Structure 1
Amino acid sequence: MLAYAAQGLSTHEASKTGAQLREFLNRSERAIGSLADGFTAVLADEGLDSNPHYTDFLAVLERDADNAGAAFRLTMAQPAISSQLVDNLNASIHVRALLTDIFLLDEVITPRSAAPTTT
């Protein structure tokens, strides 16, 4: 999306990358919709699905995913998607909040997954 935003195009139909943009936005929006389910599965696998610290953050992730998904859907609903619109989507606080949630989860989950198991 950053590369498309940098092109300065007035419509997604004006370039080859623009032709791929709607499919990319659709795939991204679908992935956003499955993040909470994925994190729920990880919590269950780690035996943390009843830990309020993790379940509270799951609620945050769900809200942020809903908000970012709405921003993606609004963008996709436009008949012409300009580089400026994609740049604004990238800069959206909703998208940034979701990305930060993912970075935080990665830092929390990765050390747990890499921890040696005792037998």
Structure 2
Amino acid sequence: MLAYAGQGLASEPGEGAASQIRDFLKKCDGALTGLAQFITGFVGRLEVESMAPYAAFMAVIERDAKDAQAAVQIVLAQPSISSQLVDNLNASIHLRALLTDLFLIDEILKSHRRAD
């Protein structure tokens, strides 16, 4: 997405690598559906005293994934996707919040794996 955003295109071209932005965003949209449940499968394997904090954080991931998905879907709803539109999507606090959530849970999962 960053490469497309940096091209300064007023609309998506009909062919070439840059025209793949819509397909990429559709894949992103699909991946966001059920993301929290997918991660919960890994979290459920942790041998922790209480799952309550993890369950609460999975709710945060679910909420942030839905917010990010709404942003992706509104971009996909446009007849043409400009570089500026993708740049604004990249800057969206909703996508950034989800990425930060994923970085955090990834570190937690890795730390548990190292402890085993």
- Report the TM-score, using the length of structure 1 for normalisation: 0.90
Q: Where do residues 1-119 of structure 1 align in structure 2 (5 Å cutoff)?
A: 1-13=1-13, 16-47=16-47, 51-116=51-116
C-alpha displacement at 1:18, in angstroms? 2.5
Shift of the 39–66 alpha-carbon distance from structure 1 to 2, 3 Å rule, reads same
2:84 counterpart letter in structure 1: Q
CA-to-aligned-CA distance 1:16-45 (integer Å, 9 cap, x gap): 222211110011111111311111111222
CA-to-aligned-CA distance 1:42-84 (integer Å, 9 cap, x gap): 1222255x61110000110000000000000000000010000
Identify the structure with the greater helix proportion. 1
C-alpha displacement at 1:14, in angstroms? 5.5
Give me the whole-angstrom Cα distance separating, in 1, the residues matched to 2:22 and 2:34: 19
Identity percentage of aligned residues? 49
Specify the SS of the correspondent of 2:7.
coil
Number of residues of Structure 1 aligned to a counterpart in Structure 2? 115
Unaligned runs of 5+ in 2: none
1:8 counterpart letter in structure 2: G
Shift of the 30–47 alpha-carbon distance from structure 1 to 2, 3 Å rule, reads farther
Give me the whole-angstrom Cα distance separating, in 2, the residues matched to 1:114 and 1:38: 21
Specify the SS of the correspondent of 1:45.
coil
1:26 counterpart letter in structure 2: K
Unaligned runs of 5+ in 1: none
Shift of the 94–8 alpha-carbon distance from structure 1 to 2, 3 Å rule, reads same
Give me the whole-angstrom Cα distance separating, in 1, the residues matched to 2:82 and 2:40: 36
Shift of the 15–7 alpha-carbon distance from structure 1 to 2, 3 Å rule, reads farther
- CA-based RMSD of the aligned residues comes to 1.4
